[in-house]
């Protein structure tokens, strides 16, 4: 079973918003965390953690549960934004 299109759209819009916010706060992030080894990983993990919450809430509002395949699809959705976050820190 594929993720319903409206849930996928909602999650992707949320990820894009968070990436946009990351770009806005990038100067602060780099100054506030000068000793962090890999800020890209940290930021990406924060975005994914937030996106999984949105993903689960969208299912909960429909009184449904995501399947293992849905979680696999979620992983594919967020992975395509990994390089975009990485580019902020190169």
pLDDT tens digits, one per residue of 3-22: 999 999 999 999 999 999 99
Distance, first Cα to last Cα, the chain: 37
What is the pLDDT at residue 37? 80
Between CA 21 and CA 64 the distance in angstroms is 30
What is the pLDDT at residue 1? 59
pLDDT digits (tens, 9 = 90+) for 26-77: 999 889 988 888 899 999 999 999 999 999 999 999 999 999 999 999 999 9
pTM, entire model: 0.86
What is the pLDDT at residue 87? 93
């Amino acid at each position: 079973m594929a993720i319903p299109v409206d849930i996928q759209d909602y999650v992707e819009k949320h990820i894009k918003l968070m990436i946009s916010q990351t770009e806005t706060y990038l100067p602060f992030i780099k100054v506030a965390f000068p000793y962090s080894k890999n800020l890209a990983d940290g930021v990406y993990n924060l975005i994914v953690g937030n996106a999984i919450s949105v993903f689960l809430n969208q299912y909960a509002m429909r009184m449904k549960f995501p399947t293992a395949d849905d979680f696999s699809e979620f992983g594919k959705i967020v992975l395509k934004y990994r390089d975009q976050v990485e580019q902020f820190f190169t």
